[in-house]
Amino acid sequence: MNYGIVSQEQLEQIDVMLTEKLIKLGVDCVMIIDMAGNIITARDNGESKYDVYSFAALAAGNFATVDAMAKLVGEQEFSLLFHKGQDSNIHFSKIDDELLLISMFGKDISLGFLRLNVVDAIEKIRKIWNKKQ
Amino acid sequence: MSFINLKDKVVQVKIVYYGPGRGGKTTNLEYINRTYRKQILSEMVSLKTHGDRTLFFDFLPFDMGQIKGYHIKIQLYTVPGQVKYNATRKLVLRGVDGIVFVADAMEKQREKNIRSLNQLHENLQSYNESIFKIPLVMQYNKVDLKEHGIPILPIEVLQKDLNSRLQVPYFEASALTGYNVAATLKKIISSTVVSIQKKLL
């Protein structure tokens, strides 16, 4: 997948879809990053004030570390990566070898419900991405 | 690989400071963070051990202004220099656009510099990148130690050891005092931005 340049139209479609699918569900902030720590896009509910650039760098490092650990114990990957806090949680999901979808959400959403929607969102992202190649 | 957002007109550029342990990579970033505080909107992130050694990476993002209407966001990373951390060093190199090799000019570190540079070569190969093609700047750090009577390798020796085949721009520097830290940074940013432009044309 050539992820280096995405057309404006593709990004807009992805942004709309992320807002529809995840932000409206109650997710505080959702972002797509690449494994190098670059932000492809970030959407939030207008209230969260995260430093998304630092977050993306750390998230990429975190995911890469867990991935390397998986390989060490003979797993292809640990497909669920989830951090639970008192008030906020972070869910990581792999879109493909280069891209990650990260959702930050509070205690009002259940993990299961979020995962269902994330799976759906990823499916849609892949479709949008593969359109013009 | 740099990511170019056509919608928001943002180009993200990843520059990694690489080199042997205790060579001054983090000190470079700390100096930049102090000196260019106004342009840096977020805090420098450092993942380090209790002994203040880099464990995973340091991260410092800043805005460089606009080129042809595109906002250039520079993301500076360091790798952990200690030999045992090569797995994490490799992770940090993923998607790198430009590299500053921070060599330790102290005489006793001669071999470590060479080993570290060789490993950089191997690590880049694992990402199908070539040390001969990627924008690279050499920084011979700690030249200020000469004044304190600590034996320093002459520039010719450093050049012969590390830069005879690469032939990339180089700077004598002192990350602690800031000597040539900005010059190194400017050079790698300009080489990297030019290389990204070339790739796009």
Beta-carbon contacts below 8 Å between A and B: 79
Q: Is B190 exposed, middle or buried (0-12, 13-18, 19+ CB in 10 A)?
A: middle
Q: How far apart are CA A55 and CA A13, in angstroms?
A: 23
Among A residues 10-49, those touching chain B with beta carbons less than 8 Å apart: 11-12, 15, 34-41
Q: Which residues in A lie closer than 8 A to residue B6 (C-beta atoms)?
A: 5-8, 11
Q: pLDDT per residue over A56-102, tens digit each?
A: 999 999 998 898 899 889 999 887 899 999 999 999 999 988 899 99
Query: What is the number of residues in chain B?
Result: 201
Indicate the pLDDT class of residue B136, thresholds 50, 70 and 90.
very high
Report phi then psi at B103, rounded to 5.
-95, 150
What's the mean per-residue pLDDT of chain A? 89
Map tokens 């001969």 to a residue.
B132
Closest by Cβ to B4, choosing from A4, A53, A60: A4
> Is residue A133's pLDDT more than 60?
no
Using the beta-carbon criterion (under 8 Å), do A11 and B87 form an inter-chain contact?
Answer: no
CA trace torsion B136, B140, B142, B144 (10° rounding): -120
**What's the gap in Å between the CA of B89 and the closest CA on chain A?**
11
Closest by Cβ to A36, choosing from B4, B14, B200: B14
Q: What's the confidence (pLDDT) of residue B47?
A: 87
Q: How far apart are CA B171 and CA B39, in angstroms?
A: 24
Q: How far apart are CA A19 and CA A27, in angstroms?
A: 9
Q: Is A116 on the interface with B (CB under 8 A)?
A: no
> Is residue A4's pLDDT more than 80?
no
What superfamily would CATH give domain A8-130?
Dynein light chain 2a, cytoplasmic (3.30.450.30)
The domain spans of chain A are 8-130
Using the beta-carbon criterion (under 8 Å), do B57 and A57 form an inter-chain contact?
Answer: yes
**What's the gap in Å between the CA of B69 and the closest CA on chain A?**
15
DSSP B174: B
Indicate the pLDDT class of residue B3, thresholds 50, 70 and 90.
confident
Q: Which residues in A lie closer than 8 A to residue B5 (C-beta atoms)?
A: 6, 11, 40-41
Identify the structural domains of chain B with CATH numbers, from first to last.
3-200 (3.40.50.300)
State the alpha helices, DSSP H only, in chain A. Answer: 8-18, 52-72, 111-130
Using the beta-carbon criterion (under 8 Å), do B59 and A5 form an inter-chain contact?
Answer: no
Residue of B nearest to A36 (CA): B95
| Mean pLDDT for the stretch of residues A19-47 | 92
3-state secondary structure of B14: strand
- pTM equals 0.88
